[in-house]
A and B are shown apart, each in its own frame.
Chain A
């Protein structure tokens, strides 16, 4: 390499560094404004809804004097802007206040509820991806065949059937009639006494402690809601895979590979899917992120004490600290997963590899 070429490479390098820095800076600015916007919108929605937050704390039967005192204690007699300032100040210090419904600090509640949701969402996405991707590939490769039609129908049902209805149906069939899965909860009653969670992911905790009966029980409880969520992400993932694969299969390099005499399997799995994998990552990540928001309906039907149920319950009861805290955590997760899928994108796409 000549000196000139070296210099050019170095120039390219520093230009890349500047580009990365500026994109990082842009990302930070976007993240901070998104956060502030999120905070402001949720906070003010919480204040303008026609529900008296004191009602949430005291219920309908409290005497007037107690109501007025509680209003002062909660700082609700202050001007909105001052309430907002106090809230943001505390939030920056990681203090989201106390939940009215559970009497715990909001962060404690979230630390408890979020693992339940993550466990469910992870398993659901895993099921969705492991089945959905091959199904989508198959549908694309055998376009117009029976399997393609089936994938299309699965997708259609996944889009049009309400999840709580399918959930109840699943409960009636697999739980009530066949007794294949366990009832709506995370664990059986008997294990309430013998099992101490560590991370909050029951499957993992049970495996770590070698309590295989608990593991099996947790599995029997999680498998139905996870399959249900898995089904819905499968419907989405298989449809997207199909269209990505069709796109790839129409590319010239596939024709070239066929002409070279490569086997179909290698062409499909080794070339087409590898290229389709790049946008697939985004699709799967987004589907995962949306499950992490907490699938409220699934969590309600299956009495799953996750973040979706927590926030919905809080919202219905005007427990604004909990709603705000939950929204911010979910917002962070969304931003985090977007960043992560961005990174993965770079790793998988050869064009973004550093030469």
Chain B
């Protein structure tokens, strides 16, 4: 009797707890009408200082919050157009670039934008000498000469002097990289911290680097309100912007790592855009009537590379054979569906001179013939380092299977991304599968890494992808350097076409596809588009219905 009453009571208690646990009003979630909310795996961000940041998520934020002298022309990405600069000219000797700034422009802080700000931005980027500084210092600019080489002639005239008569397209493309973003020097100087000069760092202050890691001093369409690591990046409309103002008042990038969680939040209306979707979630979103997708090819190519320190892989016929042992069609219709386009040359589409002929198909007979010619008719054993994520793992498994058809026994060594990369950078791999995103929007960025290797010794100072695979190519290195000095853009483009054909034919690189960036979005968004690079994923044009 007592027991029963107790059981009844506790049943009531259980029900009560269960009720309170589930009690919530069912309602369709909507994000605020003046705010764009994106679900985005922003965990690669380590600094918001444009002089330091070199990560993909940061590039998007910097692109939206800072202005440059010149910017990539989205209607023809082999050219640039003026951003803060109204016009520019190159001296006859090809060494001096003079930029005239548009008049009457302001930073988000209200401070006027002058040539002195541009000069200071260059000075701090060079003197800080962080990862992206090489994009500017490759023009012979160093901490000791930067104030001479990049200087303000008057309030609206900025002069940039390079050490060789480079192709102007090369110089201008490099100046469109985020490291050349113009910072509000007056504001930054208020936040400068003292530094102790040392052998590695000769300057007595940090040029505001500590503050700018999370701070903001720009003039872009949006201003950075805050970045909370692994939580959110919040942008607010810059009402002092010098061009067309952003349509929405704010943009919030919410940290969400999982594709499936992003999809759920998008379906429920809690985010407007999902940025890291895997093929299966993408499929589901494409079928949903309230949602749609956007995509754009990015400057990242996926490839496998054969270390030339391995005697089997060093044989030219073996290098050739590998190119016939990838089932490009099957990959494209399965693992890469919606996230990659087959592309076999090292310059991504959109670059000056990029070619898009894909001569290779899976051809086991031809590969066997080549292997026999190399003296390896029965194949051989080899390893491949693969990071444990998609699409690399799926690609590696497919390649393992097709290599097997020609008698090559591939052992896959799975590893964490940083781990396989550490091994690759030390040239201790046999085969590596990975991707390469160009550092700045110019063909030289990828040409330099795939087609040049100035010093193949273990102690080399310059370590390109060709170096990582111990591919010694003095002639191609010279050709790559020559393309940098070709003033005529059409001729320069031809030189890159030639380089790509040679790489296609002889290199230890099997380039497989170019990455497509995809996003799932709610249909009420207007004007959302992904750009050709991460720093051109602009959000200022987005509005809501």
Closest Cβ–Cβ distance, residue A316 to chain B (whole Å): 6
> A42: CB under 8 A from chain B?
no
Closest Cβ–Cβ distance, residue B424 to chain A (whole Å): 9
> A171: CB under 8 A from chain B?
yes
User: What range describes how many residues of B lie at the interface?
Assistant: 35 or more
Smallest CB-CB separation from A63: which chain B residue? B134
With A and B bound together, what is the CA distance between A31 and B281 in angstroms? 48
> B524: CB under 8 A from chain A?
no
Contacts A102-B229, A131-B17 given; indicate if A49 touches B419 (C-beta within 8 A).
Answer: yes
Most buried by A among B35, B46, B421, B423: B46
> A176: CB under 8 A from chain B?
yes
A180–B24 touching, CB < 8 Å: yes
Residues of A close to B416: CB separation below 8 A: 51, 316
Binary contact track B413-424/A, C-beta < 8 Å → 1, others 0: 000111101110
A65–B131 touching, CB < 8 Å: no
Closest Cβ–Cβ distance, residue B544 to chain A (whole Å): 14
> B360: CB under 8 A from chain A?
no
B462–A263 touching, CB < 8 Å: no
Smallest CB-CB separation from A141: which chain B residue? B3
A303–B268 touching, CB < 8 Å: no
User: What range describes how many residues of A lie at the interface?
Assistant: 35 or more
> A7: CB under 8 A from chain B?
no
With A and B bound together, what is the CA distance between A14 and B263 in angstroms? 67
> B83: CB under 8 A from chain A?
no
Closest Cβ–Cβ distance, residue B137 to chain A (whole Å): 9
Which among B251-259, B331-339, B513-521 touches the partner chain?
Answer: B251-259
A179–B7 touching, CB < 8 Å: no
> B494: CB under 8 A from chain A?
no
With A and B bound together, what is the CA distance between A72 and B232 in angstroms? 32
> A223: CB under 8 A from chain B?
yes
Which among A82-90, A184-192, A246-254, A287-295 touches the partner chain?
Answer: A184-192
A130–B418 touching, CB < 8 Å: no
> B29: CB under 8 A from chain A?
yes
> A181: CB under 8 A from chain B?
yes
Q: Which of A86-111 contact B (CB under 8 A)?
A: 99-104, 109
Contacts A109-B229, A305-B231 given; indicate if A55 touches B17 (C-beta within 8 A).
Answer: no
A130–B17 touching, CB < 8 Å: yes
> A4: CB under 8 A from chain B?
no
Contact of B28 among A60, A179, A189, A192 (CB under 8 A): A179
Contact of B261 among A65, A101, A220, A303 (CB under 8 A): A303
A66–B29 touching, CB < 8 Å: no
> A342: CB under 8 A from chain B?
no
With A and B bound together, what is the CA distance between A218 and B260 in angstroms? 22
B17–A265 touching, CB < 8 Å: no
Closest Cβ–Cβ distance, residue A163 to chain B (whole Å): 14
B419–A51 touching, CB < 8 Å: yes
Contacts A179-B29, A189-B252, A264-B2 given; indicate if A66 touches B229 (C-beta within 8 A).
Answer: no
With A and B bound together, what is the CA distance between A131 and B12 in angstroms? 12
Interface residues of B (CB under 8 A from A): 2-3, 5-7, 10, 13-14, 17, 21-24, 26-29, 31-32, 35, 37, 43-44, 46-47, 54-55, 129-131, 133-134, 200, 213-214, 229-232, 234, 252, 254-258, 260-261, 264-265, 267-268, 270-271, 416-419, 421-423, 425, 437, 439, 460-463
- A–B complex contacts, Cβ < 8 Å, 6 sampled: A55-B421, A135-B14, A190-B32, A192-B252, A223-B21, A303-B255
Interface residues of A (CB under 8 A from B): 49-52, 55-66, 69, 72-73, 99-104, 109, 127, 130-131, 134-135, 138, 141-142, 147, 168, 171-172, 174-176, 178-185, 188-190, 192, 220, 223, 227, 263-265, 268, 300-303, 305, 309-310, 313, 316-318
A66-B134, A303-B258, A303-B261 known; 10 new pairs, CB 8 Å cut-off, are A51-B418, A55-B422, A55-B425, A63-B134, A101-B229, A184-B256, A189-B252, A189-B270, A263-B2, A303-B257
